[in-house]
Amino acid sequence: MPKKDGKNLKWIVLITVIIGTFLGRLDQTVVNLALPKIINDFRITVSAAGWIATAYILANAIFVPIWGKLGDTVGRKKVYILGFLIFIGGSILAGFSWNLSSMIVFRVIQAIAGSADYPTAMAILAFTFENGKERAQALGIWTASFAMASVFGPLIGGPLIDYFGWRSIFLVNLPVGLIGLFMALAFIEESKSERKTARFDWWGAITLGVALSALVLVLDQGLNWGWFSGWSFLMYFLVIAFGSIFYHIERNHEEPIVDFKFFRNSIFSITLINTSIIFMAMMGSIFLIPIFAQTFLGYSATQAGYLFMPMAFTLMIASPLGGSLIGKVQTRYVIAGGTFIATVGVYLFSYLDPRSGPLAIIIPMVIMVFGMGLGMAQRTNIIASSVPVSEVGIASSILALARNIAGAFGIAIFTTILNNSINSNVIKTSQFSSLYVKNPETIKQFIGLIILKAQVVAYSNVYIVAAVILLLGAVTALGIKIKDEHKLEKSLGSDLAEV
């Protein structure tokens, strides 16, 4: 048992869950690099290949709250290990995919298994670390592994794909996964809620699945379909209809998958809103940076990946630093201050142009991530500490769900703003541009320069919008008013005594 067998064992548990988290998130980032080769091997279109990512996001979003509830009821270690086993199996199957259909099926299997990691890992850490400050530091370090995976994905995946083919990015999960699996069996202690489950909320799971499927689909495909197309309106209807049914089911169920009583807790709700704003701006911003670097600066995919290395190291410093401030500085000031710093970093991206060097990306990114990292441990600690330990799995699954949806919103909104802004800027730039030498070559160059100018200005507009959103996040953070910071710091430890 981590609490009895030695002080250092709890940190081994942290390393164990980081392996699982890192592996799952790494898999998501690396697959994007492999898409060109998969497209070529399967002889499919780019739009068809997009379903490889869409299917993963869908399955992951649907099953996160289900796994969180199961972890709290049947045992977090059992669910964590089951998810690990299925993930390894799904990875091997994906590595031997023979066409698009088989790849989508095996990616769904991976996603279902991968979605077990977040809620159970967070609950395992909350149970393992009784001390408030240690828990905050552990949660901060664990949260940083999300960004580390996004950064190291291109660095690890690029050479694997180039030298061993795209199948290697799936098959490599077997040896690494086995290490994480054996560590989980050896070091993680079983824990679950004292409250016995009378019956699982299957109708809630089904209606939530339909609502989330429709939401993720329209966020992912809305730009291609058109936000006011028939397909998009069908998705809007399904989201509202099944979301309403889900809400009524959960209100009356004895043991709901999503317990809406959490939202009556103002600290929980405001923290969730702040987290959603942060992730919407962060995911939307980071999604566009590699595209800008490769399109306008002429970087290769691997070179673009190098730009993210300082971000990973910054986050590794900022997250534990933010955790160490718990009990010393009021939580809302740390989160608000960190969000404001991130706002400055994102705003600096608005100055990017085709003449920019690598530092023009690295410096704003380091500032942005340092600010976000300061508040990561604080936000996660609030969510974990504002509910009983018996319900940490459910609460963490709500947090994961909010992050996934906010990230999807960020990418959808920013890409829409980018495309609309490009079209608008082309018209505006054309109106204020004149061409005096009208030979075919000059006209071609003239049109190319107008489009280039329109695109660069569009990126600037996107990052100004992102900065405004983050500034709103900084303001909302000031609403996280905890009457007794020390009581919050110790609350999880007192709850653990009852488990």
Can you tell me the distance from the alpha carbon of 49 to that of 44, in angstroms, rounded to the nearest whole number? 7
Q: Backbone phi, then psi, for 147, in 5-degree steps?
A: -70, -35
Q: Find, among 136, 124, 114, 34, the residue nearest to 76 by Cα.
A: 124
Query: What are φ and ψ of residue 130, in 5° steps?
Result: -80, -40
* Calpha distance 405→394 (Å, rounded): 16
Domain ranges of the chain: 1-201, 202-252, 264-417+461-499
Q: For 345-349, what is the mean pLDDT?
A: 93
Q: What pLDDT sits at residue 497?
A: 30
User: For residue 103, what is the DSSP state?
Assistant: H
- pLDDT for 89 equals 92
What is the mean pLDDT of the segment spanning 268-281?
A: 83
Alpha carbon distance, N-terminus to C-terminus of the chain? 14
CA–CA–CA angle 22, 23, 24 (5° rounding): 95
The pLDDT value recorded for residue 236 is 92
C-beta separation of 211 from 244 below 8 A: no
Euclidean distance between CA atoms 312 and 275, whole angstroms: 19
Instruction: Evaluate if residue 130 carries a pLDDT over 80.
Output: no
Position 374 pLDDT exceeds 90 = no
**pLDDT beyond 50 at 498:** no
Structure tokens at 350: 């608005």
State the pLDDT at residue 185: 87
- If you search the block for the tokens 């828990």, which residue do you land on? 135
Residue 445 has a pLDDT of: 61
For the segment 472-497, the average pLDDT, to the nearest whole number, is 60
The Cα–Cα gap between 153 and 158 comes to: 8
* Residue-wise pLDDT tens digits, 44-95: 765 567 677 767 776 777 787 777 777 777 778 888 889 889 999 999 999 9
Cβ atoms within 10 Å, residue 422: 17
Neighbours of 384 (CB within 10 A): 26
User: Given this model, what pLDDT does residue 342 score?
Assistant: 92
Nearest to 69 by CA among 207, 181, 197: 197
The stretch 204-227 carries a mean pLDDT of: 79
Give the distance from CA 352 to its chain's centroid: 25
Please state the pTM of the whole predicted model: 0.69
- Please identify which residue in the block is written with the tokens 């530092």: 359
Residues 276/278/284/287 CA torsion (nearest 10 deg): -110
How confident is residue 2, by pLDDT bands cut at 50, 70 and 90? Answer: very low
Which stretch of 10-19, 181-190, 451-460 has the lowest confidence by average pLDDT?
451-460
pLDDT in tens, 166-190: 898 899 888 888 888 898 888 888 8
Residues 6+ apart with CB under 8 A from 300: 294
Give the span between the Cα atoms of 2 and 9, in whole angstroms.
Answer: 5
Classify 264-417+461-499 by CATH class: mainly alpha
More confident residue, 179 or 449: 179
The residue written with tokens 């099944």 in the block is: 242
- Check residue 486 and give its pLDDT: 52
**CA proximity to 188, closest of 381, 9, 310:** 9
In CATH, the number for domain 1-201 is: 1.20.1250.20
Q: Say whether pLDDT at 343 is over 90.
A: yes
CB of 345 within 8 A of CB of 365? yes
Tokens of 464: 């100004």
Contact 362, 180 (CB under 8 A): no
282 falls in which pLDDT band (50, 70, 90)?
A: confident
